[in-house]
């Protein structure tokens, strides 16, 4: 069967869903195809919490933070759902460029204040604070399990078609469009479209490798990340989101630690971007034991509000570029959104806006996201 479409979004994770919403809002005829079902746990956008951590000082990201806060508000208005719980974010430790972050945020009108560690420890007694403490009250937790259906529902309300259990198995690019082969329970279908938006997460390199001659983007490293939800031991403790940046002489750390409270599930804590490299189609979903033991040691030492021996491991993928900046670019009829390197969720609606701008030729993406960098 041959079908002619306008814009096909490949991948119904956070970024594809946001792109579909933004393109549908601009009156484009959008078809989103997703290989798995709604709410699947095989990629990077499942679960009830992600930090909206404003801890950036690079100007493009700082501008995207401010725009992101406004667009999450807009999505909450349109969907009637609370998606961002403003618990505040606290970044602490000798690392993390906290002085530069504070200056950049203040310059952009986003609140940031340094607190004395003892004072912070009184406010948030579930956490033991380290040296310098930067509090950012505009930050909080986003809920992917509510946000993705909201994006898709609103896109559908504006005429988009969302097809789950539909996989792109072949991908040809021409000057004036693309041809995709889709596989679903209904069989194989050949689709021609004016444009494709490739937001395939950990599968991006595989997808783009199907294009004869390939599509050149920075090398993507897919890792299986394994934070854990620790059982709350102090029921009265109040929890912000947090990031802890070690000093050069800190022993037994794999990376900075991020964390937050997931209501009903516990306190999430995790290492950042150090999981084993995986093929997204051949994962074991099992935690690496040494990293897990080190994470428990971290909780024992720095999270007095949790039980370090009672936890639930989580499995999820990062797709990381060499410089940890995203890939947001257009190559002919193909728009690419990839390489979110474990820090993309907070920017989801802004990424949707940038991908729609690229698809409609409205404006280019910031240079740091160029595929040819
Ligand atoms: C453990 C963990 C913690 C994180 N914490 C934070 C945080 O606190 N703050 C923050 O801002 N970010 C955080 N992130 C990062 C954030 O979650 C990701 O950047 C974001 O979810 C990436 O979304 P995506 O749409 O690119 O990828 P995905 O959600 O993986 O979506 C890609 C989709 O494409 C589909 N697909 C792939 N190939 C095909 C094909 N051929 N045909 C059809 N469909 C296809 C896949 O099935 C998948 O659904 C975290 C990530 C992880 C893993």
81-133 pLDDT, tens digit each: 999 999 999 999 998 899 999 999 999 999 999 999 999 999 999 999 988 99
Ligand 1 centre to CA of 15 (Å) is 7
Region class of 324: left (phi > 0), else alpha (psi between -120 and 50), else beta: left
* Residues linked to residue 259 through DSSP beta bridges, in sequence order: 242, 269
Q: Is 108 left (phi over 0), alpha (psi -120 to 50) or beta?
A: alpha
What rounded mean pLDDT belongs to the chain? 97
Element (H, E) at 84: strand 84-85
Give the pLDDT of residue 235: 96
Residue 210 in tokens? 């199907």
Cα–Cα distance for residue pair 208/211, rounded to 1 Å: 6
What's the chain's Rg over C-alpha atoms? 21
Residues 26-49 have a mean pLDDT of 98
Local structure of 178: helix, strand or coil: strand
Distance separating alpha carbons of residues 364 and 301, to the nearest angstrom: 46
Residue 23: pLDDT band by 50, 70, 90 thresholds?
Answer: very high
CA distances from 38 to 10, 58, 327 (A): 14, 34, 25
Which atom number of ligand 1 is nearest to the Cα of residue 314?
A: 1
211 confidence band (pLDDT: 50, 70, 90): confident
Evaluate if residue 246 carries a pLDDT over 90. Answer: yes
Widest CA span of the chain, in angstroms? 67
Provide the b/e sequence for 227-239 (b: ≥16 CB within 10 Å).
Answer: bbbbebbeeebeb
* pLDDT over threshold 80, residue 4: yes
pLDDT tens for residues 164-205? 999 999 999 998 999 999 999 999 999 999 999 999 999 999
- Residue identified by tokens 């007095």 is 304
According to DSSP, the residues that pair with 244 across neighbouring strands are 92, 257
d(CA 130, CA 219): 35
CB 62 within 8 A of CB 105: yes
Which domains are delineated in the chain?
Answer: 2-46+146-218+323-369 (3.50.50.60), 86-140+222-320 (3.30.9.10)
Give the phi and the psi of residue 273 in degrees, each rounded to 5.
70, 30
Distance CA 269, CA 125 (A): 16
Question: Could you tell me how many residues make up the chain?
Answer: 373
φ and ψ at residue 258, rounded to 5 degrees: -115, 160
Q: Which residues pair with 10 in a beta bridge?
A: 33, 198
End-to-end CA distance of the chain: 39
Q: pTM for the full model? A: 0.98
Using a pLDDT cut of 70, give the percent of the chain over it.
100
Pocket test for ligand 1, best of 152, 200, 325, 337 (most atoms within 8 A of CB): 200
Tokens of 324: 């940890």
10 in contact with ligand 1, CB cutoff 6 A: yes
Ligand 1: does its nearest atom lie under 6 Å from the Cβ of 151?
no
- pLDDT exceeds cutoff 90 at 214: no
Residue 248 to residues 69, 93, 271: CA-CA distances in angstroms?
A: 33, 11, 16
What are residue 241's phi and psi, to 5 degrees?
A: -75, 155
For residue 292, give the H/E element and its range. helix 289-302
Whether the CB of 200 sits within 6 Å of ligand 1: yes
Q: Is 256 in the pocket of ligand 1 (CB under 6 A)?
A: no
Q: For ligand 1, pick from 262, 345, 347 the residue to mutate: most ligand atoms within 8 Å of CB.
A: 345
């Amino acid at each position: 069967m041959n079908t002619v479409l306008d814009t096909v979004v490949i991948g119904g994770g956070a970024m594809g869903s946001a792109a579909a919403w933004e393109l549908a809002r601009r009156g484009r005829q959008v078809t989103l195809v997703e290989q798995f079902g709604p709410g699947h746990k095989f990629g990077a956008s499942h679960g009830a919490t992600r930090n909206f951590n404003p801890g950036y000082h690079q100007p493009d990201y700082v501008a995207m933070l401010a725009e992101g806060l406004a667009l999450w508000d807009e999505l909450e208005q349109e969907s009637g759902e609370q998606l961002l719980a403003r618990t505040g974010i606290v970044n602490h430790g000798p690392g993390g460029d906290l002085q530069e972050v504070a200056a950049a945020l203040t310059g952009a009108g986003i609140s940031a204040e340094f607190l004395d560690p003892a004072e912070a420890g009184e406010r948030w007694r579930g956490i033991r604070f380290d040296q310098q403490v930067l509090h950012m009250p505009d930050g909080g937790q986003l809920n992917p399990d509510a946000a993705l259906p909201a994006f898709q529902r609103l896109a559908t309300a504006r005429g988009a078609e969302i097809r789950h259990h539909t996989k792109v198995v072949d991908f040809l690019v021409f000057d004036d469009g693309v041809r995709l082969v889709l596989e679903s329970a209904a069989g194989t279908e050949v689709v021609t479209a004016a444009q494709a938006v490739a937001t395939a997460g950990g599968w991006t390199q595989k997808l783009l490798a199907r294009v004869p001659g390939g599509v050149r983007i920075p090398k993507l490293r897919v890792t299986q990340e394994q934070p854990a939800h620790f059982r709350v031991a102090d029921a009265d403790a109040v929890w912000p989101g947090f990031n802890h940046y070690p000093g050069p002489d800190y022993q037994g750390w794999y990376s900075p630690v991020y964390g937050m409270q997931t209501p009903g599930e516990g306190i999430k804590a995790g290492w950042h971007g150090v999981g084993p490299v995986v093929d997204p189609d051949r994962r074991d979903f099992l935690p690496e034991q040494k990293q897990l033991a080190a994470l428990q040691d971290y909780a024992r030492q720095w999270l007095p509000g949790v039980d370090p021996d009672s936890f639930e491991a989580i499995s999820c993928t990062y797709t990381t570029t060499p410089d940890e900046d995203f890939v947001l670019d257009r190559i002919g009829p193909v728009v690419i959104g990839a390489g979110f390197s474990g820090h993309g969720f907070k920017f989801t609606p802004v990424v949707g806006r940038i991908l729609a701008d690229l698809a409609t030729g409205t404006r280019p993406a910031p240079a740091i996201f160029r595929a040819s960098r």
